[in-house]
Structure 1
C-alpha cells in the first residue's frame, strides 16, 4: 500500500481547511492536506474515524468537530467526500450543515461523485450565502488517494478554481477546470462510461484467452505493449487472471455512479446501450454476493 510519506508536496501557503467525510478516499486525502502543512479540522459521521485521524495527525495539529457546521467554522476551504446526493445534502445543508458555518468568501469543494443537479443546487445555495462552490469528483481509486495521485475534474468559476488548486494538489496529480458548475460531475460520468466498457471488454478477452488455453499473464504483457494497452489492462488484468477482487472500487459504488450516468442520459438524450447492459451485468455480480468486490469482478459472470 502506498504511503502518505511518498508524496512530494508543492510549496503552498498554509490554509485553514475542513474535511468532511473520512472514508476510503477522504481519510488519505485529508491526510495529505495535513502533511502539506495545512491546519485540518475533520468531521465524520462515525466519530471513531475522526478520532483515529486526529491521533494519527496530532503532530500536524489535526482537530475534529462534532458537526459539519463546527468543522467549517473559520475554515478558508471546506472539502467534502461522502457517498451520494443525499449524503452530500445532509452534511452541507440545514442547521448543522457545513454551509451554515462557513463565513462569506469560503469555498466548499465537493469530491463526492454525485449528480450534476446537486452540484448546481449547492452552487446556488453557496452563492446566496456569499460563499463559493466547486464540484470536483475524483478518479484514481483508493490507491490514487493513498499516494496523492488523484485526477480531479472541476466545475465552477475560474477564480475560485485557481484559489483551490494549489491546496488540492496535495492529493492530486491533475486538477482541471472543465466548465461551469456541474461540469466536473458530467466529466466524471464520461470517465465511468469508459471504465465500464473497458472492464467488460477486458473480462471477455481474458475469459476467451483462458478458455483457449493461453498463458494469460504473458498475453497481457504482450498486448499491453500495443494498441490494447490501458490502465485497466495494466493494473486489473493480472488480478482478474488470478481471480482476486477483494480491493479497489466496489461494485456497489460503480452501480451508484452508473445510475447517475443513465439518469443524465435520459435528460440529455444520449443513447448508452453498452453502459446500460454493463450496469445490469454489475447487478448480476451483486446477486452473486460481490457488491464489495472490485469493479473488475465482471469476469466472474463468465466463469
Structure 2
C-alpha cells in the first residue's frame, strides 16, 4: 500500500471482456487515461477486446493477468457464479478488486472475501451504480436535515422483459441466474441506503421459471424504526425502474433509479422541487473515481456495509424460496 499511495496513478485491469466491461473500459480510460491489461478465459476474446479498447496487454487466463506486477486493481465482470473464486484469487495476489454485482452468491462468500481483503490491507467493493450517483448523496443529506421528516415507506419497481432461454445467464442456474441477483441487487441496494437499520421483518413471494430460478419476485420489508419497503422485480414485463420514498412531510420520486440524475420532491403543502445532481453518462466514471479514492486513502469502502446488508436480504429471500445454486458453499 505504501508504494501505491505515493503515486497518483492507479493501474486498472479488466477480467471478463463482455458488454458491461466495454462500457467500464471507457470509464476507466476517461478517469485514468489508460487501461493496463485485459484478461479472459479465451486469449482470442482478450485480444479482440484489447484491440477494440486500445489496451496494450491481453492475457488468456486470470493467473497470467494477476502475475502482472503493473496491475493495481482488477475489475471483475464475469458471471455471478465465478465472482467468489476470482475475487479470492485476485486478493491473494495482492490486487485490489472491484467486482460487478452481485458481488458474490451469498453472505458467507462475501464475508470470506471481506476478511481476505481486510487482512491484506486491500480494497474490495461492489460495482453498484446506485451507491455512486451524486443524486443519492444529495437526497441522504436532504433527509438528514429533517425537512421531509422520517421515512415511512420505500417502494421500488424494476422490470425488464427477458426472452426465455434455459442456457442464458438470466435463467441458467449454473450461472446463478434469476431476477434477484440481476435486478434485485439494484432495488435492495436503494432500500438499504435509505433503511440502514432494517429489516427486522421480511416477507416474500416468487414465481420461478422452468429452470427453477426466480423470474419474478416481491419482497416486503419492515425496518426497526417503523418504516417499511416493498420491492417488485421481474423478467416478465418492462415495468420501468422507479423508486418512491414516502416521508412524514413529503415524497421523493426517482425515475431510472439505477443511474438517477434527478428527483422530484413533493412537499405536504403542495409545492414541488426538482433536485438535479450528476450526469447519467458519467455513472461508471463515478464508480472509478470513488474506488481510486479508497485505494489512494487506504480506506474501507463506505459502500461495503450496504453490500453486506443487501446480500443478507437476498440470502433470506432465496432461503424462503428454496433456491440454492450449484456453486454455493
TM-score per shorter chain, which class? 0.3 to 0.5
Q: TM-score, normalised by structure 1?
A: 0.44
Q: TM-score, normalised by structure 2?
A: 0.42
Q: Specify which structure has the higher proportion of helix.
A: 1
Higher relative contact order (CA 8 A, sep 6+): 2
Q: Specify which structure has the higher proportion of strand.
A: 2
